[in-house]
Amino acid sequence: MNGLGAFLRRIVRSREISIVIAFVVIVAATTSVNSHFLFSADGWKQLLINPTMLVALAIGEAFVIITKSFDLSVGSVLGLTAFMVGSMYLAWPQMPVIVAFLFAIALGTLLGFVNGGLVALAKVPGMVITLGTMYIYRGIDILWAGTKRINATNMSQDFLAFGNAQILTIPALAILAVVVLAGASWYLRNMRSGREFYAIGSAPDAAELCGLAIGRRRLAAFTISGAMAGLAGAMFAARYGTVASDAGTGFELQAIGAAVIGGVAIVGGSGTVIGAALGALLLTTINSALPVLGISSLWQQAVVGILIIGAITLDRTLAARRARLLVAERMRT
Amino acid sequence: MTTGGPGPTLELVDVSKNFGTVAALRHGSLRLDPGSIHALVGENGAGKSTLVKIIAGVYQRDSGTVTLEGQPVDFRNTAEARAAGIAVIYQEPTLFPDLSVTENIFMGRQLVGRFARIDRTAMRAQVVDLMTRLGVSIDPDRPTQGLSIADQQIIEIAKAISLDAKVLIMDEPTAALSGVEVERLFAVARSLRDEGRALAFISHRFDEVFSLCDMITVMRDGSYISTQAIADTDEPAIVRLMVGRDVGDMFPKAEAAIGDVVLDVSGLTSPGMFADISFQVRSGEIVSLAGLVGAGRSEVVRAVFGVDPYTAGRVTVEGKPLPPHSPTAAMHAGLALVPEDRHLQGLVVEESVGTNITDAIRRTLSRHGFITRHRENESAQTWAGALDVKCSALDALASTLSGGNQQKVVLAKWLACDPKVLIIDEPTRGIDVGTKSEVHRRMSDLACHGLAILMISSELPEVLGMADRVLVMHEGRITAEFDRANATAENIMFAATHNASELVAS
């Protein structure tokens, strides 16, 4: 085993590193076509700020997928919370930024808790329940908003400034996303309850025999996913300054796609939130790079699809390979 | 029983558990003393596993008392039982394939340091110690995926030891282990006994029971039968207690004229499942495949019927070879399979009785690709009548029928295709006693009409009462064959628990 060979093998095995490499390649290729993509004040800012909402959603989605379920309602939760933040500014123009974010997260938490509660009560797969709440939450949003549109002039200057603020050229929203990511990652890795999400997703029956609080963890996963979608809703309002009733439509599938690309196994039990966040980063960057590379926007969706299928195929192949290696390893000793 | 000594560590008295109308456990009693290994034996379905699951907090008892070190306890879940010092090693290992060996051992009770942070270093060190003590070298950091059953069992044992449990219950832990691994397990069990812990050992292997345990409790039909010191008893006596009941008139088996060979299976092999299976079934004959759960009986009939593939061997029906792995061909050749699990494999419970009965003959019923309910019910009526299915109407949902009647519907469905060979897996599982004999009478009638019947049954009385010939399977092989006159509960039980070489030696 020479050093380089082992190094290369580790890269292939670590999904995080391969995503970072793919990200660097795409950014480099796009920048070589148009240097503004990276080397301009605006290009740099866009590159870092665009993925933040999807990163938040993907973190929440990762919690749910790790416990062997899906949350399809996150796009609708984002839309509803973003609209709520906008409406609150109509009523209370001087609402502090922190209060706006806390309210959005609180509403997201509540909606996520409803998802989790329904899953626990109805004993129906989360995918079905959240498919239902996806429409219900969106319906409430449309009922509430109508054709109304909340504009930048309706929101406080502080709030909009925060959405576009940069600290040492790094957007504040990106820093916020990274802080949340670090917290979630630490929790999943180092706390008992964090590890239990993995156990439940890996083998639910064994988790039952182990006496783990399966119901509580599943409820927690959906609640966290809702809270993350609420955070993304506040980010959306602060970043764009306009909110209509269709905000966040289709984000749920992007969030699942990001998690899957990031190596969160769709069958549950493995993956990291960092992987999911990197998946979101890659997905968003590809979407903004394709037009620059002269690829028709018509192809963008297809590229995302290919990426997802590619990631799952890679996962399957690696998992099968890993299973063989693990058996072989045990045979040797 | 002992004078002045310490009381029992764990004691169950008259514990019962019902699932719906089925009594899984009627009168379960067990007394585990400190520093003792207690054997718990009984036939399949005697209630051993239910008893274990009540102790472990998986199920909650309906009545009776459980005391741990003199204190009455009532575990609502497995976490409570574990916290009280009860560790259970189940028949099937229950590990998390994606997680590391260390995490598996400590899941739910990880060692934590500052800020409730999991202390991986300390846990790993403990696992290394445990593995050394158990005399195995399993990498603590590797995921449990890809480990052999024996290794997984070792991890379960390591988990139980790390719990520092007062009571350790092992539910058939040796079923998948080799001789060396069994010895290693026993060495650990003995050292735990010498530390004063109470152990219970469930096994069908009598040699192991007699070499390891000091007390033995026999269960039968969900009830406690007896407890003895191992030194005061022997294997034949225990077997008699396990099966000891009268095989009475429950089995109205009529003599049928036995004709030509209809089903001929030779050298059937599927690696890891079963090997070199050869037998014949003649028309008018009922042949029973007996053996313990997991001996490979269901796998054999699934392969014969073409549901599962096989690597070697041949199946012929009336002299014509059957292509492997094709249930359609098997059905055309005249085979019918009544599967073990009615709900899962035999019956569409959300459909009407009529639809269920005609399920397998849809093609012949259809006219230009359409089936009318009228034609369906007309055809179903014949068979429902013949088998005396009690239901309000053929349009009633199958889910509304009792277990016995559901079984008759499944039978009717296959008889409607006019089979030559009927394969029936556990014909009366979950059926109340009254209806059992009804199903048995139908089977006997069918044999009299010249049908060849292959029956899998885990209930010895049923095997003895119904079969013209008994084939006994043990660990994937046929180890013995008895005809009706020679079959007894004792020799079937003995053959089911020993492999072929041991049988020759005895």
Give the total number of structural domains in chain B. 3
Q: Chain A 189-218, CB below 8 Å of chain B: which residues?
A: 190-192, 195-196, 198-199, 201-203, 205-213
Predicted local confidence at residue B2, as pLDDT: 42
- Please report whether residue B132 resides in a domain: no
Answer with the one of B178, B211, B243 that is the final residue of a domain: B243
Q: Determine which helix (DSSP H) or strand (DSSP E) holds A230, and give its type and residue range.
A: helix A214-240
Task: Examine the pLDDT at B98 and tell me if it is beyond 50.
Answer: yes
Task: Examine the pLDDT at A133 and tell me if it is beyond 90.
Answer: yes
Both B159 and B272 in a single domain?
A: no
B72: helix, strand or coil: strand
Strand residues in B96-252 grouped as ranges (E): 167-171, 198-202, 215-220, 223-229
Predicted local confidence at residue B1, as pLDDT: 43
| Domains, chain A | 16-332 (1.10.3470)
| Average predicted confidence (pLDDT) for chain B | 83
Both B351 and B322 in a single domain?
A: no
**Which amino acid, B295?**
A
Predicted local confidence at residue B167, as pLDDT: 92
Residues B107, A210: C-beta atoms closer than 8 Å: yes
CA distance B146 to chain A (A): 5
Both B254 and B303 in a single domain?
A: yes
Which chain A residues are Cβ-neighbours of B117 within 8 angstroms? 190-191
Residues B78, A327: C-beta atoms closer than 8 Å: no
Question: To probe the interface with B, which of A66, A189, A209, A214 has the most B CB atoms within 10 Å?
Answer: A209
Task: Examine the pLDDT at B262 and tell me if it is beyond 70.
Answer: yes
Both B18 and B77 in a single domain?
A: yes
The CATH number linked to B237 is 3.40.50.300
Predicted local confidence at residue B157, as pLDDT: 84
Contact residues for A268 (Cβ-Cβ < 8 A; gap 6+): A65, A66, A67, A68, A69, A200, A201, A202
Report d(CA B57, CA B17) in Å as an integer. Answer: 13
More confident residue, B3 or B42: B42
Both B162 and B295 in a single domain?
A: no
A212-226, A255-269, A285-299, B94-108, range with the lowest pLDDT: A285-299
Predicted local confidence at residue A131, as pLDDT: 95
Question: To probe the interface with A, which of B53, B90, B99 has the most A CB atoms within 10 Å?
Answer: B99
pLDDT digit string, tens, across residues B145-166: 878 777 888 888 888 888 888 8
pLDDT digit string, tens, across residues B117-134: 999 999 999 999 988 887
Which chain B residues are Cβ-neighbours of A65 within 8 angstroms? none
Both B444 and B319 in a single domain?
A: yes
Answer with the one of B197, B222, B243 that is the final residue of a domain: B243
pLDDT digit string, tens, across residues A23-43: 999 899 999 988 888 888 888
Report d(CA B148, CA B154) in Å as an integer. Answer: 10
Which chain B residues are Cβ-neighbours of A322 within 8 angstroms? 145
Residues B139, A209: C-beta atoms closer than 8 Å: no
pLDDT digit string, tens, across residues A38-58: 888 888 988 999 999 999 999
Q: Using an 8 Å Cβ cutoff, are B399 and B430 in contact?
A: no
Q: Which value does ipTM take for this structure?
A: 0.85
- Please report whether residue B397 resides in a domain: yes
Q: How confident is the model at residue A291 (pLDDT cuts 50, 70, 90)?
A: confident
Residue of A nearest to B116 (CA): A191
Both B376 and B267 in a single domain?
A: no
CA angle A116/A263/A129 to nearest 5° reads 20
Answer with the one of B219, B243, B267 that is the final residue of a domain: B243
Q: How confident is the model at residue B505 (pLDDT cuts 50, 70, 90)?
A: low
Task: Measure CB to CB from residue B143 to each of A209, A324, A326 and give the nearest one.
Answer: A326
Residues A211, B81: C-beta atoms closer than 8 Å: yes
pLDDT digit string, tens, across residues B273-304: 888 999 999 999 999 998 877 788 888 998 99
Task: Measure CB to CB from residue A199 to each of B56, B78, B107 and give the nearest one.
Answer: B107
Both B75 and B177 in a single domain?
A: yes
CA distance B264 to chain A (A): 38
Both B427 and B315 in a single domain?
A: yes
Task: Examine the pLDDT at B487 and tell me if it is beyond 70.
Answer: yes
Predicted local confidence at residue A100, as pLDDT: 94
Both B391 and B490 in a single domain?
A: no
Which chain A residues are Cβ-neighbours of B138 within 8 angstroms? 330, 333
- Please report whether residue B25 resides in a domain: yes
Q: Determine the structural domain holding residue B271 and report its residue range.
A: 247-334+419-506
Both B258 and B382 in a single domain?
A: no
Both B19 and B158 in a single domain?
A: yes
